[in-house]
Every structure is written in structure tokens, then in C-alpha cells.
Amino acid sequence: MASSTTSFPVPGMAVYGGSKTTPRYLVDILSKEIGHRGVTVNTIIPFAVDHSGIFAEPGSYPELRKQLLESCPMERLAEVEDVANVAEFFASDLSSFVNGQHLLVNGGATN
């Protein structure tokens, strides 16, 4: 798991976003180092997840929620199931040739 702040840097999130660059780097390196063993390594990069994290409490961060909704063509935040579905895909044989990828699960959001 990484953070969309690694793809779309947000002022004020330097420490948080910086801490999330490590998983991306590990995917880049490990996918090359152990791919020959048939092991795939990928990153899931979710958009803000409704009912989770800072949005766990109903009505939390209304201005941030509004900004995020405006940036997402699907006009909603991610749901836990959206992220879980991608994790299930990566854990299945359906993704057996997907390696070293950073998958944005963000409904097409651009920031």
C-alpha cells in the first residue's frame, strides 16, 4: 500500500507523502530482484477511502471531502471494497504477469 500523495504531491503532506515513497521504491526493486522466482510485487495506491482513516467519522473533514469529490470524475470517495478488490486481483492468478506496477485506485482523480 502506498498513498496517492506519492503520485499527486499535496502541500502540507511532505512527511506523510515522504513516508509512503518507501513502498513504491521497494516494489520497483523487489519486482526486479525476485521476479525470476515467479513472485510478483505491486503497489496499491488508493484514493481517499470513505468510512476509513480520516473519514471514519461521519461528517469529518467536510472541506477536504468536498475538494476530493470535485477532483474525482466518479464523484465519490473510494470504498474499502474498491481497494480490497484490487488486493484480491493481485493475490490471484489473474495478475500472474503483472509485476512492478503501481495501481491507482482513484476513480480517475487527477489530484
- What pLDDT was estimated at residue 49? 94
Active site amino acids: 3-4, 16, 20
Picking from 64, 80, 81, the residue whose alpha carbon sits closest to that of residue 72 is 64
Confidence (pTM)? 0.86
Tell the burial category of 46 from Cβ atoms under 10 Å away from its Cβ (0-12, 13-18, 19+). Answer: buried
pLDDT along the chain (111 residues), means of 10: 80 85 93 96 94 90 92 95 98 97 93 70
Query: Interior CA angle at 60 toward 56 and 64, to 5°?
Result: 110
